[in-house]
Amino acid sequence: WHWGLGGAASNALDGAREALERCRRDFPSEPQVDETLDLLSQKIQAHTTQLQRLDPVLLEREQATLGQDLSRLTAAVALNEIIGAHLVPGSVARFIKSDWFESGVQIVERHGHDSDEWQTFINTTQLLVDAVQPVDNRDGQGQERLQNAMHQLPNTLSRQLLSLQPDTDAIAGAIGLIEYALLRNMRGEDLGLLEAEPISVPGLPDGGAPSDVDLEQ
């Protein structure tokens, strides 16, 4: 009901104030109070419906204001959520925060954040992070997943590494570091897992994107 939303917001606030005043006047007559509260509920619901119609307009305005920064924010928030939930080798963290991040930005710019291409990119990121989590040598299923990742993940990463295309040597160098990390995991070696610092971009709060609880508050 912020005044900045114009006359409709003022009308809604005035209507709510009037209904509450009537409730106070009519108390303790329960039927009259109930009738007034029903009126208040109708006014609130009508205003809620109006605000829902405003949502797309406000989002489009914000997207236009952000411009290209929106793609970087989208990619940073998504990748930070994945690397923030896992420990990863330093080489993998650097890869995700550099060439892979820039590739994600390009995918968002070309296809949008609701596209299949973007969802595939996020899925590949999760597969990469999962593939460098330690697996016990006695875990047959885990070892099989590592084998599949070793065979399939490098090609999948190469196809989506848009930021280095068409430089095949640069792509091979970046993927080689990932393959080395996968190989070390298969051998049961210490991967030097660490907590990666989040990707920082203009417009993103230091503490990251607000949680659902923050937004509700």
Transcribe the chain into DSSP letters.
--GGG-HHHHHHHHHHHHHHHHHHHHTT-HHHHHHHHHHHHHHHHHHHHHHHHHHHHHHHHHHHHHTTHHHHHHHHHHHHHHHTTS-EEHHHHHHIIIIIHHHHHHHHHHH-TTSHHHHHHHHHHHHHHHHTS---TT-HHHHHHHHHHHHHHHHHHHHH-GGGTT-HHHHHHHHHHHHHHHHHHHTT----EE-PPPP--TTS-TT-SPPHHHHH-
Q: What is the pLDDT of residues 4-31, one digit of tens each?
A: 655 555 666 777 778 778 778 877 777 8
Q: What is the pLDDT of residues 151-160, one digit of tens each?
A: 888 999 999 9
Provide the whole-model pTM: 0.67
Q: What's the confidence (pLDDT) of residue 4?
A: 61
Mean pLDDT calculated for residue range 33-55: 82
